[in-house]
Amino acid sequence: MKQLYTTAAFLLLLIHTASALTNVSGFINANTTWTLAGAPYIVTGNALLSQGYTLTIDPGVVVKFDNNKALQIDGELIAIGTVSQHIVFTSNQAVPQPGDWAKLHFSDFSTDAVYDAAGNYVSGTIMKYCDVRYGGSLMWGSVDIQQCSPYFNHCRVLDGSWCGINFNGDHLTIDSSSVRNCAKRGIYYQGGHFLMRNDSFSYNLEGAIHVLQAYDGIQSRIVDSYFRWNYGAVSWQNNGLQYVTIKNCAFANNNGPAVVALQGVSDTVICNKFRNNTNGPVIHWNDWANPSAGGVIHNNLIEYNSNAAGPSVFLLGVGSWMDTLFISNNTVRHNSSPGNSCSMYYLLFGGSTRSLQIYNNSFTENDGINFMMLYGPQTNDPSFDFMYLNNNTFFNPACQYELNNNIPYGSPNLLIANNYWGSSNTAYVDGVIYDYFDFANQSVAYYMPILTSPVAVDTACLPFQKPVGMEEFQAIATSKLDLFPNPTNDRFSINFGNVNQPSDGILEIRNSLSELVYREALSNSESNSFILPEANGIYFVRVLTKERIWVGRVVKI
């Protein structure tokens, strides 16, 4: 428990005002207002608002921080700007850089925000129309929240050297706000539940939202938000992302191991738009080692996503926790999984009857060796009905197989009647389904009767509403990189053809397992020559800009 300083003997607030500049450090042990007339306020030493007091910051006020300095809120912060006069928390350096100062720290003593029955803010700590820039020097976050619940509305957290917001509390609402250009994650949740609505996340180098052991028994929601150019959008570890709803969000041009990675315990992914995401599946629903319980993937539009080293649409592990995952009314088209890979990869563990139900989906014009691949253990129970696959359209001429059945012989056969496979000719359907009749160690796929026309998908979510502030997503052009020398024993250079080397792009190098081994902003590169890691092998090189993606492959010998 921190001591509270309430007497003049311990009043260490040092304020000097001259020429509209106010220096601040020490304890703030009185109700205080920072006015536009006193701005800018320079935090020259760590400052702390004591419990029981309110700090009010007027619209247009700029608060600047010296190196590694912080403002801690043990009381109530009322920082309400306007559309035209944001309140700004930023660096005091002449040329600001990420990590110039430490953080805004909300402690467990700070006054929680209070909401009415409709969820509208009533009172308590609030930041509205505020910008937080260039923080994060002490790691964790430019905004660090511990065991309390402030309210954020129309705020921007930008250019942090660590996470934008680090939250370990009870409940957090972030409304109509933006987190971007953070060197780590946009938001790092370590506990409690959250509501994200009308928010945007872009250019966060280790992901937009990461959830660590956040489930506290209350449903969390991410709604009406958009995610662009992040290294992964939503991810979890250690029991995070249970009972989470992701609805009416747009995900475009994100790159990484997965766009949305869920634990898959009663999670819901509904009415979202996924486009132009690369180097991972759109949805990773737990994995083979820890198969998930049930949930819903419904009414999503998934198109133009790609993954060179694995599935581009779904990677799902289901069935061991006696619950069901429902996948229905999704439109999945023009996704690419080149090489020996697939678009949809399912690991079925047979823990419950019909643990996977796939129905009323449209799967068309996707590219890969297999569109759907099924794996599962030997169960020695051919009568066990573990999957429902019915009333779907499969028409992916660029795939060798629509369905590759790797469920072992002696395990349940696949009962997959009443789907449309692009033709009612049984010889054609036999040719696009890989099962026992292709390899005797596999189970049988019983696909009769066959639908004679594509299914009608529920389009209740269409047209997708554009989240606040979202630019319309356009298909990003893809071009091939000329890498030389190739093969090489050390370094390589890039030829962009008739295009000058972009100055605002990101260069990434991945190994044959799709693991990121190097990443650099081209604006930081002093030459067009790049060194490969020590290990010999195949490396995939990619350059990303706002207008184009270049891809290439180089071999180190």
**Is position 503 within any domain?**
yes
CA dihedral of residues 334, 339, 345, 348 (deg, nearest 10): 160
Contact 155, 131 (CB under 8 A): yes
The residue assigned the tokens 């979890």 is 236
CATH number of residue 543's parent domain: 2.60.40.10
Higher-scoring residue by pLDDT: 538, 336: 336
The pLDDT score that the predictor gives to residue 552 is: 79
Length of the chain measured in residues: 557
**What CA–CA distance (Å, rounded) separates 180 from 322?**
39
The residue assigned the tokens 């297999």 is 370
CA neighbor of 199 nearest in space, from 163, 167, 153:
153
Mean pLDDT along residues 181-200:
92
**Is position 441 within any domain?**
no
Mean pLDDT along residues 256-268:
85
The pLDDT score that the predictor gives to residue 3 is: 44
Amino acid present at 29: N
Out of 147-151, 198-202, 249-253, 410-414, pick the least confident.
410-414
**Is position 439 within any domain?**
no
**Is position 427 within any domain?**
no
On the question of pLDDT at 201 being above 90, the answer is yes
Residue 100 makes CB contacts below 8 A (sequence gap 6+) with 65, 67, 91, 92, 93, 134, 135, 137
**Is position 357 within any domain?**
no
Higher-scoring residue by pLDDT: 3, 138: 138
**What CA–CA distance (Å, rounded) separates 300 from 332?**
8
Q: What is the pLDDT of residues 162-187, one digit of tens each?
A: 999 999 988 899 999 999 999 999 99
Kindly state the DSSP code that residue 249 receives in the 8-state scheme: -
Mean pLDDT along residues 472-494:
73
Consecutive H or E run containing 296: strand 295-298
pTM score of the predicted model: 0.81
The pLDDT score that the predictor gives to residue 34 is: 98
What's the domain count of the chain? 2
Q: What is the pLDDT of residues 385-410, one digit of tens each?
A: 678 899 999 999 989 999 999 888 87
The domain boundary residue, chosen from 142, 168, 194: 168
Out of 38-52, 386-400, 521-535, pick the least confident.
521-535
Mean pLDDT along residues 246-271:
89
**Is position 293 within any domain?**
no
The domain boundary residue, chosen from 168, 194, 221: 168
The pLDDT score that the predictor gives to residue 9 is: 35
The pLDDT score that the predictor gives to residue 243 is: 83
The domain boundary residue, chosen from 168, 200, 221: 168
Contact 314, 283 (CB under 8 A): yes
**Is position 248 within any domain?**
no
Query: What domain range is 44 assigned to?
Result: 14-150+160-168
Out of 12-16, 298-302, 343-347, 354-358, pick the least confident.
12-16
On the question of pLDDT at 105 being above 80, the answer is yes
Q: Is 116 exposed, middle or buried (0-12, 13-18, 19+ CB in 10 A)?
A: exposed
Residue 39 makes CB contacts below 8 A (sequence gap 6+) with 20, 21, 22, 60, 61, 62, 63
**Is position 548 within any domain?**
yes
Cα-based distances in Å from 273 to 224, 251, 303, 459:
11, 6, 8, 13
**What CA–CA distance (Å, rounded) separates 157 from 141?**
10
On the question of pLDDT at 315 being above 50, the answer is yes
